[in-house]
Every structure is written in C-alpha cells, then in structure tokens.
Structure 1
C-alpha cells in the first residue's frame, strides 16, 4: 500500500493552471494505474474533444445571440410604451422590467441554453469516464439525456416522456455496487452514505435532495460510491442547507465499535449519544481540529491515526471544502464534506481541447484512491494493490 506522495503534491496545484501534457506525464508516473493516461488523452480524448469544439462554439453563440435579442426586444417595448405615455415613471418599474427580461430570455433562448447545458454534461461524461476507466471505476453525471431537443415542443414531449416513465417505474436506472438508482426519483440516494449520515445527525434538517456526479467502483475488495449532493428545505423560503460530497466505502473487515468524527466547533451531538465517549486523538494538533466520539476508544485512536487523518485533510483541502465529518461503523466508512461544485471537467465556455480537464479528474480520483487505501487493513490489501 503505497503512500502516493507524488499525487498529494500534485493535488496542491490549481487545476485551472494545468494546461499541457508535462503535468499529465507526471500524473502518469505517480501510480501504475495511470501509466497509459498520456495515450488516453492523445489517442482518445483530444481527438473527440476536437471534433466537438465547433459544436460548442455554435451552441454558445446561438444561446448568447438569442438572449441578447430577447433583452433588446423587451427594452424596445418598454421604451416605446414609456414614450407613448402608457407607462409613466419607467425608472420606478425596474423590477417589473427585469422580471420581464428574464422571462423573455427563458422563452426565446431557453432551449438554446438547454443545448449548452447538455454539451457540458456530455463533456463531463466523456472526460470523467475516461479518467475512471484505468481504475475500473464508473462515472455517471446522473443528468437526463437532452439530445434531440430543438424547440419548446420537443422539450415538452421529452418532459411528458420522462413523467410517463417515472410513473410507470420504467425510467432509466443506474447500476451501483449498492443496487439500482433512478436519477429521476429524488426519494432515494445512489449511496448508503446519505441515510447513514442523516440518521447520525450529521446533516441539518431538509426535505429535498438532489444528486449528481456519481463515481462508483471497487478497490482492493472495498466497494465505494462518491456523489455530489444538494440538500434544501421546501416551501416559500426554500434554503439550501448543504452542498458537497458524500463518500461511502464498504470494507471487507468490520469495525469493532462505532466512531463519529467532525471538525471541532461544528458538531456536539456525540456528547449526548448513548454509548459514545469523547476520544483523545494521538496528535494534539488533530485533537484540537477534530471532535471524535466512539464506543471503542482503542479502535478509534488506531483508526484515526495521524497518517489516515492527513488523507482526510488532503481530500478536504483539494476540494476547498470544510466541515468534514463522518461515521465508522460495522464494515463501512461514510463521510460528508461541504464544498462547491466538483468534477466539472472544466468550463464549457473554454476550448474543449485542454489537458487540464483530464489532469484535474485524474488528480481527484487519485485522492479518492489514497483515501480508500489508507483505511484498508494491510493484511487484507496485500497483493491486491
């Protein structure tokens, strides 16, 4: 079980600064699974992204052009009405004007922006799938397929089709190591981590959930799933209470106790949880940074050793996240990290042929591998990595 320090060093660099193949060559040399990544980029991704570039430019230009025409059209109408005296005090009606502009853009340019979103989703699917392939992992945006939508009529037909599929139970499903997941059904999460963390009180109260960017697979006998989640309250004053990453890893060996951990200052539930007692970590620095409660003090200290905690912090640091927390119980580790959008494979408003799209994905997947490897027992993982 290697330390993969080269990958950790790479993770500290801004993904947006990575432009060329030299860093891709360094990533390829950092772990055996990535040794063919340069060829994957040059022989598969770069040609395919190059073929899609003209369509990207055309789709964005069309969406921008339609949006500008819609806004100018609304302005002309408002000015004409003002000149005619039909609408006095134009300046005092700015909120109405702004709302009308947005509605006009949605009506006149909405479908064009749907095509831009679909291209962004397809680019993510292409790049992340290529990055996952050498590791035997699988990636799915969990976004609906928007191909063939050219106008509001075709958009309406597609929405009607989705509703019929959903109501009949025949909508597309995604296979995961933990069962089937239906992306159009927000009642069920694609990973057990959601229900486990929710039951442990590691989320704020919410009534709506949305998931995207699902990565699943198996490494050295450990099944895992990683997904981005957005949780929100419902009603008139709906508020997003969480956006970030959920990680669930099932190990071949069970933990003896139940251990909960979180960044200090965020979580106090453990003080009142039956059977859980405060754990003093080996490192004083880590003990100040994290609050840990467990039913097994010895296991908790061994489990959250300084080297393993550093892997957790490296994941947190790379994703510019915070409020890291999780639970270790039975044969699984479930983690939650609050962070902005991840696994975006670069902006759709930049040229598609950019190696940083691929290197960023490989770096993120390397950190996930480091995390899994770090918490596997050495006896089990022997000759598996």
Structure 2
C-alpha cells in the first residue's frame, strides 16, 4: 500500500549516499512501501539536510556564545560587588548567583536557544514527513513555528499572537482522519484515544496535558492516529502521571464486545470493569503478563492471540516502554504506552546528514504498520495490502 506518485518524480540515478547506507537498503527490502526509501534519502533528504548544516552550526554556536556571555557577566558583577564591599559575602551566596545567571541566560540567550529548538523541530518535520510519504501518512510536530523571531520584542509579539489564537479558536489546524485539530488549543486532543482511555480509567487523573508528534493516515481501510502525550497534575507540586504514546485505530468492521487490557502490574490503577468478566488468555505466559476483561470471552481471546500480542510487545520493546494498556470496542483499538520522547529524528547537536535519522523513523513507522496489520482479518484487507 502507499502512494508512490510523489516518488515517480525522483531521478532514476543511484548516488553514493544511497550505496553507503546498508541499513537503509535492508529496510527498503523489508516491505514494498519502502522500495523508494534509499532514493528519498539520497535525492531529497541529503541535499536539504546538507543545505541546513551550516545554519545548524551557526545557530548552536550563537546560543552557546550568548549563554557564556550572560553567565560570565553575572559572575563578574558578583565578584565586583563582593570585592568592593557593596554587599558583603555576595560571592558566597551561590543559590542567588545561580538563579541570577539562569535569568540572565534566559533573557540574553533565550531567543537564540529558541531558534535552536525551531531548527530541531523543522528537522523532525522534514525527516518524519519524508518517512511517511511512501505510506501515504501525514506527520506534524504540533510545535509552534518560531521562524522570524529575532529578539525579545518579536518573541513577545509571537506569544501574543498565539494567545489570541488560543482564546479565539481561530488558529492553524491540522487535518486528521477524525476531524481537524486546532494546534493552539491544548485542551483538545488530536486523537480519540485520549478521551477513550481516560473514560476507561486507563489514564491517571491529571489537569495538564500536552501533545506532539502526530502521525495520521489510513492503511487498508483502517484509519489511525498516533500522538505523543504528556499528562500532569496541576498546582505547586505538579507531577507527570503519563508520558508516552497514544494510538487509535479504527477498523472496517465493529467488534462484537468490549475488551480492556493492561499489563498486570498496572491494572490496580484503573479498573472500570462493570459488566466485564476476566479473560483467560491462550498463552500462560501472556496470562501472567496481562490482565484482560471483556464482555465477549471468545472475541477477546481471538483478538489477543499470541501472534497479535507479540506485535504489541514488539512496539513496547522498541520504544523501551511499559505499562501497555488498551481498549477494544465499537470497531476501534485505543492503546497507551508509557515511554520517553520518540520520533526525535536524531540530536540537533550532531551533523544533520546522518542516515540513522531516516532509518529510525522508517523502523518506527514499520512497527505501526505491523500493529495495524496484525489486528486486521484476512477478509477485511483482501487485495488491499
């Protein structure tokens, strides 16, 4: 599957950049959709990332230089004030000096570091979008665009503009298979998985939420949305209660019952099992590792067969995640997986022309495809994959 129309315009040449990346060649051979991945890397990404490399070095150099100047200036002022006796013992008030340094760095170098952040975001957008193209998927960082911000005044103007968008609901929108999402409205989740998992008691209570790295699309008639989420409690002692991936997949046919699944050690944190009965899985190993409740025992065992559970565990393993849980009902599967930051497309502090940025993105997208495919029945997808 996947729209190859964009790839047909690529030159038919094979550059040295392609031949020098064995891992990329192996990924291209792993599934038909990635056939053109080596040429996307050599003919599209290599030239563009190379063009941005000088800007990356200059941007980071400027941010580091401004930070050093700000910190050194504060240190000199503290030394002068202490030596001249203006304020006795000021040099030894380390907490005050450190706090002042941080404020100075934020004021003097904050805009420069903002440009570094913007470059990292733009690099992610470029690489992940290129990785999504062969599959017909869409990617959006959901990050604000800091392009054109040169000083504190322009930053303040941009912040004012964002607040106006947030309050009016008239900001930029991201299209998803489940409707348009307002990027400046942090109260609205870009994936149905959030509300479904919260209603099922599979997300701990929180009052703050943030979303980034949205991947959406359709595969063999199954619409999906994947997004990274960070949920936290409010107040002075705010605590992060969830950081990881939310996945929502809608299948062409409805499920007969309602099934809740979670890693056994996590289940005590949220169990809304009214009308559900505990399910004994086919595999004893999986039975120990997961707790499952359902209104339809037969369907639950069929859905969570060993081969399908292995696809879930493979996703969990790749992202070094844990506490996997999910809901199967009304023709959709919604999953939550706790993990650190994903879909980063490499460090901004390393050279941009590095094929691992692209290969890691392709690998992660391949796992998403495997997950979707594993829960599709043969009748649903006959002739479509």
The answer to whether the 8 Å contact 1:283/1:306 transfers is yes
The answer to whether the 8 Å contact 1:224/1:247 transfers is yes
Residue pairs, 1:1-385, within 5 angstroms: 21-90=21-90, 92-268=92-268, 273-385=273-385
The answer to whether the 8 Å contact 1:125/1:140 transfers is yes
How far 1:205 moved relative to its partner? 0.8
User: CA separation of 1:293/1:110 partners in 2, compared to 1, >3 Å: closer, same or farther?
Assistant: same
Q: Distance in 1 between matches of 2:246 and 2:272?
A: 25
The aligned counterpart of 2:7 is none
How far 1:184 moved relative to its partner? 1.1
Q: Distance in 2 between matches of 1:342 and 1:225?
A: 15
TM-score (normalizing by structure 2): 0.93
The answer to whether the 8 Å contact 2:203/2:270 transfers is no
The aligned counterpart of 1:6 is none
Unaligned runs of 5+ in 2: 2-18
How far 1:244 moved relative to its partner? 0.2
Greater RCO, 1 or 2 (C-alpha within 8 Å, sep 6+): 1
The aligned counterpart of 1:13 is none
Unaligned runs of 5+ in 1: 2-18
How far 1:92 moved relative to its partner? 4.5
Q: Secondary structure at the match of 2:93?
A: helix
Tell me the alpha carbon deviations over residues 32-65 of structure 1, each in whole angstroms, 9 at most, x when there is no partner. Answer: 0000000000000000000000000000000000
**Which stretch of structure 1 is more off in the superposition, 157-166 or 287-296?**
157-166
Q: Distance in 2 between matches of 1:232 and 1:165?
A: 24
The aligned counterpart of 1:12 is none
Tell me the alpha carbon deviations over residues 327-373 of structure 1, each in whole angstroms, 9 at most, x when there is no partner. Answer: 00111000000000000000000000000000000000000000000
How far 1:160 moved relative to its partner? 1.6
TM-score (normalizing by structure 1): 0.93
How far 1:240 moved relative to its partner? 1.1
Q: Distance in 2 between matches of 1:84 and 1:241?
A: 50
The answer to whether the 8 Å contact 2:81/2:90 transfers is no
User: CA separation of 1:87/1:163 partners in 2, compared to 1, >3 Å: closer, same or farther?
Assistant: same
Alignment root-mean-square deviation, CA:
1.4
How far 1:272 moved relative to its partner? 6.1
The answer to whether the 8 Å contact 2:125/2:141 transfers is yes
How far 1:303 moved relative to its partner? 0.5
Q: Distance in 2 between matches of 1:366 and 1:326?
A: 20
User: CA separation of 1:237/1:271 partners in 2, compared to 1, >3 Å: closer, same or farther?
Assistant: closer
